Amino acid sequence: MTNELRNLLADVFEVRPESISDKDTYETIKNWDSLRHLQMVMAIEQRYNLQVDSEQIPNIKSVADIVQLVERAGQQH
């Protein structure tokens, strides 16, 4: 995970960047609720200039899923 992505997630979830790891999930980040989930998706879409399919949004359940999403989008450009 890049520092840029880690900082973005830390901003959305209001936690320290160093507290976020690839192993984290919506269950381990206490501020990861449904509202912040959507805010996180919008922040990623804006920062990385990508469009997340609305059917894919509920399947994002971990930081590893987010990293994979961003990496896949980067490979398509």
Counting Cα atoms < 13 Å in the Cβ hemisphere of 66 gives: 27
**In this structure, which long-range contacts are made by residues 58-62, counting pairs with CB atoms below 8 Å and at least 24 apart in sequence?**
61/25, 61/26, 62/22, 62/23, 62/24, 62/25, 62/26
- Check: CB of residue 63 under 8 Å from CB of residue 71: no
Domain count for the chain: 1
Domain extent for 10: 3-76
* CATH (domain of 31): 1.10.1200.10
Mean pLDDT in consecutive groups of 10 residues from the start of the chain, 77 residues: 95 97 96 97 95 94 95 74
Can you give the pLDDT at residue 77?
A: 53
